Amino acid sequence: MQEVAEHAGVSIATVSFVVNGTKRVSPQTQAKVEAAMRELGYARNHAASALARGRTDILALLSPALERNLSGTGMEFITRAAERALQRGYKLVLWPFDNQASSVQSLIASRLVAGAVLMEVELHDARVPALRESGLPFSLIGRTLDPTGMAWVDVDFDASIVGTMKDLLGLGHRRIAYVDFVLGDDPEASVFAGAVRARNAYIDTMRSVGGSPVLLRCPETPWDGRHLVSRLLADHPDVTALVVMNEHAAPGIVLGLAAAGVRVPEDMSIISVGTTSMMAAFTDPVLTHTVSPARELSRLGVDAVIDRINDPELPLPQILLPCMRASGESVAPPRS
Amino acid sequence: MQEVAEHAGVSIATVSFVVNGTKRVSPQTQAKVEAAMRELGYARNHAASALARGRTDILALLSPALERNLSGTGMEFITRAAERALQRGYKLVLWPFDNQASSVQSLIASRLVAGAVLMEVELHDARVPALRESGLPFSLIGRTLDPTGMAWVDVDFDASIVGTMKDLLGLGHRRIAYVDFVLGDDPEASVFAGAVRARNAYIDTMRSVGGSPVLLRCPETPWDGRHLVSRLLADHPDVTALVVMNEHAAPGIVLGLAAAGVRVPEDMSIISVGTTSMMAAFTDPVLTHTVSPARELSRLGVDAVIDRINDPELPLPQILLPCMRASGESVAPPRS
DNA sequence: TTGAAAGCGCTAACAC
DNA sequence: GTGTTAGCGCTTTCAA
């Protein structure tokens, strides 16, 4: 920067002003400085700038289980978040971590990032208390049990599941089963808040129409989807429709049903919820599905943090976005 | 740090020594300092540290088209890279960008990152010259036409395609078509080096057995895969086997064939190359496939950069990894 | 084995 | 509108 200043015949303060647009500078000087910068290929030193202003332009994307969600919706979240951050002049660092709370602590204390976006939020999320205490701006993609006083954007699973159930009930289905996912080996292990809310919405809806819920779960793979089918058919032969919140198992379920001679949608209706359309198109018939608003959620989540960095007094966005219904051919009235 | 020093009754230099392990410190002082750090929840300021030592612990993952590859193998690359970087004490920032060369320039000049990993490398990649000039350590996942003097790790597409072709030829197939992908609207737009090499390996193999290559391509979606089928059957009715390098179209192709009454593998053999096993399991029959060594490639790519950061004189790793053959049920001898 | 102090490159308050 | 300058928090050389 010193060099640029000499080259342009001004002081380094002036260079700083034009680099940051912090202060009015006469057009002539501005031009001179810019020319000098171009000539010398100057770009401001990131660390020095961050140190001096006491703030960085880096955001952290905290995603505890980057291993999970090896495709589909998860990828969408990450790429959109990175894109949006860059659009707004921020960088996005990926922070997949093991030891939740303590790792967040040191991330915060190191002042590496100006804010954080949390994905895969749990009902009682260990990262949240640490973040709140620290005062670091953050937003949730998802929400904890009590998200009061935080910025969050989330899928409106309640409405989405209720809507999906209504569709099925409207067609005459009464025995509707629900399939979601387990992570790793321990079925009781960390549970995403969204999954819990969705499941509860299903249970409530079933109860409200006097039906009894049928809950199934399996790991997020097509193989597990296939295997699930025999269990389903054996234990619940009267089920006529499936609501599946398990992007990667859904195609497997269709294959499993076909192998068992169960036709979709004539004998069994299926709706895949919170998926990408691509995943829904891997089967024949194409799955009727609802699309998780991943792109918007990422954008809003990133925006929420950046806005709060710029003005901590801003109201906290708390936004619920519905899944979009997308057509498919896997739903029909039940065989009477 | 000053506070920690006072708390422990030592100088800030000493604190720095224990934080970084840069110098021998007596066990007692060490213990005192560590206790003080814990008590005050100290973590070193990232920017200040980077500024003082003239180096950061951040790596950039340069992926021009994060939009593409919305799942499967692409996701694998990113998550594994982030994981590995963290394991080795580095952070990974995502750098999806538009304007290739210039964006790289400013990334370099800003000294934000200590090194870079390039994905989706093209034969003549605009990012590479900028990087070479700058002296910033970097590695390629993939390789340019002439990757001499650079660190790279790549899939051995030559061997993989040749192996795949041999399998098919060995079964008696002679009319083997090849399907790969187009990006966006312009079929001539930026081409990944790996795709070009793979295609050439196919062409060479066909020629070497006196066959004439049949090249097809479509966007990376199951819909496009379905549509491709009618073109294939109309234009090349005598084809008995398909080598598909298009992870997301492959399941669509199977569906399209089924719809056209072409049985897999009796009437048509299919091998999906460079895919994830999950994608290959979305169809019935499960696709015979080869798995892209994404995980290892990411690890090696990240390691290569970090090693060179630590010692620029280290020999340049230039590593070719084969795709792993994975079983499936979509290959059989041709109908005689 | 420990401490003092000179920067690292930039920002921004203050003076002109 | 532009320049001077005191830090930002840490690393590291040099001296003790």
Give domain status of residue B333, yes or no. Answer: no
Residue A64 CB contacts under 8 Å (≥ 6 apart), including other chains: A96, A97, A100, A120, A127, A190
User: Which band of pLDDT confidence, cut at 50, 70 and 90, is reported for residue B79?
Assistant: confident
Listed range (A121-125, A181-185, B89-93, B245-249) with the worst mean pLDDT:
A181-185
A170 in the same domain as A284: yes
Radius of gyration, alpha carbons of chain B: 25
Check: CB of residue A44 under 8 Å from CB of residue B111. no
**Average of pLDDT values for B189-218?**
93
Give domain status of residue B193, yes or no. Answer: yes
Q: What is the span of the domain harbouring residue B127?
A: 58-155+296-322
CATH number of the domain within which B263 lies:
3.40.50.2300
Quick one: CA dihedral A256, A261, A264, A267, positive or negative?
A: negative
Q: Is the pLDDT of residue A185 over 80?
A: no
A145 in the same domain as A21: no
In A, which residues are within 8 Å of B47 by CB distance? 47-48, 50-51, 56, 111-112
Taking alpha carbons only, the member of A92, A96, A41 closest to residue A67 is: A96
Q: Is the pLDDT of residue A336 over 80?
A: no
Alpha helices, H only, B27-72: 27-40, 46-53
Q: What size, in residues, is chain A?
A: 336
Rounded distance, CA A111 to CA A114, Å?
A: 7
Give domain status of residue A327, yes or no. Answer: no
**Average of pLDDT values for A104-128?**
92
Give domain status of residue A196, yes or no. Answer: yes
Between the two ends of chain B, the Cα-to-Cα distance in Å is 79
Please state whether strand D lies within 7 Å of residue B48 at its CB atom.
Answer: yes
A68: burial class by Cβ within 10 Å (0-12, 13-18, 19+)?
middle
B91 in the same domain as B26: no
B264 in the same domain as B177: yes
A72 in the same domain as A127: yes
A252 in the same domain as A206: yes
A80 in the same domain as A105: yes
B305 in the same domain as B234: no
Mean pLDDT score of chain A, rounded to an integer?
92
According to the model, what pLDDT value does residue A67 have? 59
Give domain status of residue B68, yes or no. Answer: yes
Q: Is the pLDDT of residue A99 over 60?
A: no
Phi then psi for B319, rounded to 5 degrees? -125, 130
According to the model, what pLDDT value does residue A245 have? 95
Listed range (A186-190, B10-14, B176-180, B218-222) with the worst mean pLDDT:
A186-190
According to the model, what pLDDT value does residue B77 have? 85
Q: Is the pLDDT of residue A65 over 70?
A: no
Domain tally, chain A? 3
According to the model, what pLDDT value does residue A197 have? 95
A228 in the same domain as A163: yes
According to the model, what pLDDT value does residue B8 have? 92
**Partner residue facing B96 (CB), from A70, A79, A94:** A79
According to the model, what pLDDT value does residue B101 have? 67
**Average of pLDDT values for A48-72?**
82
Please state whether strand D lies within 7 Å of residue B310 at its CB atom.
Answer: no
3-state secondary structure of B310: helix
Rounded distance, CA B122 to CA B195, Å?
A: 9
CATH number of the domain within which A31 lies:
1.10.260.40
Asked if B284 lies within 8 A of A259 by C-beta distance, the reply is: yes
Q: In angstroms, how far is D16 C1' from B313 CA?
A: 37
User: Which band of pLDDT confidence, cut at 50, 70 and 90, is reported for residue A74?
Assistant: confident
A30 in the same domain as A121: no
Give domain status of residue B51, yes or no. Answer: no
User: Which band of pLDDT confidence, cut at 50, 70 and 90, is reported for residue B67?
Assistant: low
Give domain status of residue A336, yes or no. Answer: no
Q: Is the pLDDT of residue A48 over 80?
A: yes
Radius of gyration, alpha carbons of chain A: 25
Provide the CA B167 distance to its chain's centre, in angstroms.
Answer: 26
Taking CA A160 as the corner, what is the angle to CA A159 and CA A162, rounded to the nearest 5 degrees? 65
Mean pLDDT score of chain B, rounded to an integer?
92
3-state secondary structure of B90: coil
Residue A25 CB contacts under 8 Å (≥ 6 apart), including other chains: A14, A17, A18, A33
In B, which residues are within 8 Å of A119 by CB distance? none
**Average of pLDDT values for B64-74?**
65
Which residues share a beta bridge with A321? A155
pLDDT > 90: what percent of chain B?
79
User: Which band of pLDDT confidence, cut at 50, 70 and 90, is reported for residue A116?
Assistant: very high
Give domain status of residue A84, yes or no. Answer: yes
User: Which band of pLDDT confidence, cut at 50, 70 and 90, is reported for residue A60?
Assistant: very high
In B, which residues are within 8 Å of A87 by CB distance? none
B87 in the same domain as B134: yes
Listed range (A58-67, A94-103, A243-252, B47-56) with the worst mean pLDDT:
A94-103
Alpha helices, H only, A172-276: 193-208, 222-235, 250-259
The nucleotide whose C1' lies nearest the CA of A23 is D1
**Average of pLDDT values for A292-303?**
94
A130 in the same domain as A166: no
Q: Is the pLDDT of residue B60 over 90?
A: yes
Rounded distance, CA B286 to CA A32, Å?
A: 65
**Average of pLDDT values for B160-172?**
97
Which residues share a beta bridge with B140? B118, B152
User: Which band of pLDDT confidence, cut at 50, 70 and 90, is reported for residue A182?
Assistant: confident
Please state whether strand D lies within 7 Å of residue A14 at its CB atom.
Answer: yes
